[in-house]
Amino acid sequence: MINDPFESSVIQIKNAGAKLGLSVSELDRILEPQRVVKVSFPVKMDNGMINTFTGFRSQHNNARGPYKGGLRFSPDVNESEVKALSSWMTWKCAVADVPFGGGKGGVIVDTKTLSKTELENLSRSFVRAISDVIGPTKDVPAPDMYTTGEIMDWMVDEYSKIVGSKQLATFTGKTLGNGGSEGRTEATGFGGVVVLEKLSEVKQLNPKETTVAIQGIGNVGQYFAIFAKQKGFKVVALSDSKTAVYNENGIDVERIIKFKEQNKTLVGMPDVTFISNEALLELPVTVLVPSALENVITKDNAEKIKARYIIEMANGPLTPEADEILHKKGILFIPDILSNSAGVTGSYFEWYQNMHNEKWTKDDVLHKLEDKIGSAFDAGYKMMMDNNTDMRTACYMIAIKRVNDAMKDKF
């Protein structure tokens, strides 16, 4: 089984590249990141000691615009992960047709072991370490795993001190009072439901009869659940890392989210039926939405999947082997580079507002998101039908062609 995220991304690119008839040299230019920066930097701790941390910034491709992608603070951050994620960001930006390229970065750290002061020191020190490779027209980081709007505010402030002027557009995902955008928090989940609506249109699904199971109750999963229910779809399952709540007749999404917020877990929630995360993936639902972890559907459980459609809201929840099995079973899966691309699209909107000194309303943002993601779905679905392939390969074909054409114009 392929567990390495970068290896998985290479397979996906090669599959689409072959369909497009790309040459070996054209493929070579888009497989590897253009630059991977590794830094070691000092951080002052509360006890006065200086600890050294390691961080990365992978810059995959900037043919269509500045590198764009999140920064994560996690003990599991590694070079292969940020390389794969920076590649995915390139294709995500291209398939959504926003003028960015792909970047990703992070620091190897367990934020639970840090005080708030130490976290701020770490954030500022990391910015100093990578300041020469980022900037509003060069590379625009954003929040990711275990990073927040407040951390982006610290980073903007530190970067602005380094260059000597306020540079709000260097980071997105900031707090609203510091150049952040309305609608950014819910953008990814909202965009996923736009995909769900487009899917229901082309497959002539009745929302009231369309059952939806969502793995993951983080920001993306919970907003997907909220918007899906608002649009009339029947959400029947929702999970956190420990357990899942299931009711074939529909669950009380708001009550479950409120319980999770208050108790930090779904375990112990009264008057609900619990199933395992593994069982959630195998439910006989219309639409399965993996929005938590990568590699949750593999060659080992793909045959057990009973959903008719899958919308990937996490990054890389299906392995390449699973893709092949599911496609043969006739299950249509909407790839992450399309279905969760509203996140980076929302980030682009924030960057644009900062660059042009504008401030849009939430309704403006969500309306623009709906147009962008809807158009991206239409293009992907047409490419899939025209080329008799799966939706992932079709979306990669669109993205790779756009990037390859931009590279031809530059070189």
| Torsion sign, CA atoms 28, 94, 295, 287 | negative
Which of 92, 104, 174, 229 does the annotation list as catalytic?
104
pLDDT tens figures, 352-383: 999 999 999 999 999 999 999 999 999 999 99
Q: Is 208's pLDDT higher than 80? A: yes
Check residue 315 and give its pLDDT.
84
Count CA atoms closer than 13 A to 215's CA, side-chain side: 32
pLDDT value for 60: 96
pLDDT at position 7, please?
77
The residues spanned by each domain of the chain are: 35-166, 187-339
Are residues 265 and 228 in contact, defined by beta-carbon separation less than 8 angstroms? no
Residues present in the chain in total? 411
- The encoded tokens of residue 381 equal 């679905």
Give the Cα separation of 217 and 360 in Å (integer): 28
Predicted confidence at residue 177, as pLDDT, reads 94
Same fold, 35-166 and 187-339: yes
Which residues is 239 bridged to in the sheet? 244
Give domain 35-166's CATH number out of 3.10.129.10, 1.10.3720.10, 3.20.20.70, 3.40.50.10860: 3.40.50.10860
Residue 5 has a pLDDT of: 63
DSSP string, 167-180: -GGG--S--GGGT-
CATH H-level superfamily of 187-339: NAD(P)-binding Rossmann-like Domain (3.40.50.720)
Give the model's confidence band at 411: pLDDT under 50 very low, under 70 low, under 90 confident, else very high.
Answer: low
Confidence of residue 293 (pLDDT cuts 50, 70, 90): confident
Q: Verify whether residue 104 is a known catalytic residue.
A: yes
| Overall average pLDDT of the 316-334 stretch | 94
Q: Residue 3 — very low, low, confident or very high, per pLDDT cuts 50/70/90? A: low
Average pLDDT over residues 298-320: 94
Q: Work out the mean pLDDT of the chain and round it to a whole number.
A: 94
Least confident of 19-23, 110-114, 196-200, 299-303: 19-23
